[in-house]
Structure 1
Amino acid sequence: MSGASETRAPKPGPLNGFEETVKDFWGSRPRRPHGGRKVAGVAAAIGNRYGLDPVVVRVALVVATIFGGFGVTFYLLGWLFLPGESDDVSGFEGLIGRGRSSVSPAFAVVLSILTVVSVGGSFSGSWFDGGGLISFALLGIALYLLHRSRGHENRPAPVTPRSQQYTAFTGNGAFTMTDTATAEAKSPASPQGWDPLAADPAGWDLPDAPSYQEPPPPAPPKAFKAPEPRRRSKVGSATFGLAVVTAGAGVLANLNGVTWFSAQHVIGLVLGVVGLGLVTGAFVRGGRGLIGLAVPLAIVGMILTTVPFQNFDFRGGAGDLDLTPAAATDVKPLYQHAAGDIDLDLSKMPVGSPITTNVVNGAGNSTITVPDTADVTFDCRTGAGTADCFNRTTDGISQDALTGTDYGADGVGGQKITLHVSNTVGDVEVRRG
């Protein structure tokens, strides 16, 4: 044995657990190679890092795209967070000033926006119900298990940041270099009459050596001039003001009946304004603080897109409503609420003229109680939650509406009631009292 051993990183094992494995994965992320890439080199990076054929990775991403669309999101995340082969940091880290990356700040902003949009499309798309969640879970688990089993192999060598090289110049713009031997030979202090051949100095008839002249003194160095401080860009302030105006205009339009300006559309418009500000700031060196606004907006937008908020608007109050109309004339055509539970009891009304009412709730549970003998035509739906109307039930996200007519135990001939109940998030129940 030579006594020299190869230093290898410890293999993540059961003792270091999930958190340590994730930290080790981030510290030894795959690097996108220059060669063998098809688009950005994400599949090639994962294949090289864990000893897989990149074709296998590409096939997995295509399958994940077909069943839920998350393969595109996964690729964009890799493009954004995996550094290039010769980069110091990833594109996102370069965007926030952590180091040098071949992904420009402007393109990193574009990738971030595309990632948020693709996440929303993955979770709310109709290609395959639940496919976004399933493909997300499978890809995440596969990557985690790969790192647990092969993370100690093919670890990328750390890239040393390029050091700054400073050059010291003299006043005349050239390096000062002195040949010691030559200087000593020319120096007047050298001993005179020394003969390396030990001959009689009187026997030599040599021309006198030229007199030595001192070089002119170097010019004094120029005074160091500190760079002027960079002027603060107004891109961030202008973008923030425009985003506030956009949000206010959207909410105002919704309150005035323009239903297109729903919560997710308003968030999307504001996020678009912030994204344009980030792109502009990347060119004029400003607006970096907008990232702190874009990230929470992106998270909120992803939630609003994941949980269907098609019917959510800002009209109506907040809090619980407990309503018991005493007569058909007391029943309003619309009960609309932004947040809170709605409990509408119609069971105490005497038989009278037909009733039609709509119950629209943003976030909360809606319960409608009708008389035992009423003939009820109903339309019940919820974006996320459980709908239970006359013992017919749906549960989950984006389920079809429950529609039909229930005549009660006595059959046809009771009070005519038409109900349209719509919740964005929360349970819906129509029952007999």
Structure 2
Amino acid sequence: MSGASEKPGVLNGFEETVKDFWVSRPRRPHAGRKVAGVAAAIGQRYGLDPVVVRIALVVTTVFGGFGVPFYLLGWLFLPGESDEVSGFESLIGRGRSSVSPAFAVVLVVLTVVSAGGSVTGSWFDGGGLISCALVAAALYLLHRSRGHENRPAPVTARKSSPAFTGNGAFTMTETAEAPSPARGWDPLAADPAGWDLPDAPPAPDPRPTPPRPSFQAPQRRHRSKVGSATFALAVVTAGAGVLAALNGAGWFSAQHVVGLVLGVVGIGLVAGAFAGGGRGLIGLAVPLAIAGMVLTSAPFHDIDLRGGLGDLRETPQAVGDLKPVYQHAAGDIRLDLTELPEGAPYSTTVSNGAGDTTVVVPANADVTYDCHTGAGEASCFGHSSDGVSQPALTGTDTGADGAGGQKITLKVSNSVGNVEVRRG
């Protein structure tokens, strides 16, 4: 008993299903792809509409953030339709793939950055673990029930074998053809065609031969690896900077990350000027320079990458639940302070990179506020400003009942987006 299933198309156990999935992985087709063909590959392999797969990836990206690293993993580990192996296997020397080693390194870095952000909870509030588990379970169930259908044919490397010729030398051919019985038997085991003598050379032409022009075909220029190496290093630098920012390193703002990447590209351009190549980096340097100038000019000077992405909703019920700082990179923030009990004075700071921020305070609280947005509208207790680089709105509002209520100190700032502070 080998443990295999007696019913055709049914796999026994988790280990057998996982091994069979790897052996018969979906192959990314050339036709029907939108980016890399990951969704089309899964759809063709398991008989699904690729649109359904794409919608599922979008949903897992919005709720949890794992859709992006899953797509990158598929790009990295699913071989192309005519490839021997996947891009990652080609990177470690297992075979040939249409994914170049330099681009495979880029995919590895992007996968680590996106997966690290979604699973550790820096992005999308930690829902990446849930979406990762759901994607893995869906793939497992699909392969367990439909893995026997639409199995892709493996693409194997063409092997060379030695063939013996009549002149006693070995040559490498795709296959060594066996001698045909119709040619007869040769006791010396030589190819009968090898004994045929060549025909006599033709008589020379008495007419003078015109001199041949001394034209030489231009040699193909050696392709430099400076561009690919610089691009890969720039992606690694950007990924490391974003991870550092998400983990609390305050220096790694958007402006500094762009500046570091632009510096790497500049070094690559200088190296390419001496070694030859790297001209394609100009197309990367120009938009980076423009982005750097925009980010370093008002009102984008204080954009911070820390805090995660997506909408944030907070309603603290006790003073201990109130955080001293609510920080977000992009998305809407709504902080409701009306459920907090009265007592000692408390304060908090709300910082948002891009998106709308709303803070709701109790009706009778005495609020000292500082509201500012780099580009957008700020509205705090009836005072408002609109535009770019407007001064902050500051002051104290005691509410309709006058002074004597709960003391609250608020500082709300946005880089881009609207800010509103109002009473509940």
TM-score by length of 1: 0.46
TM-score by length of 2: 0.47
Look at both structures and tell me which one has the larger radius of gyration over its CA atoms.
Answer: 1
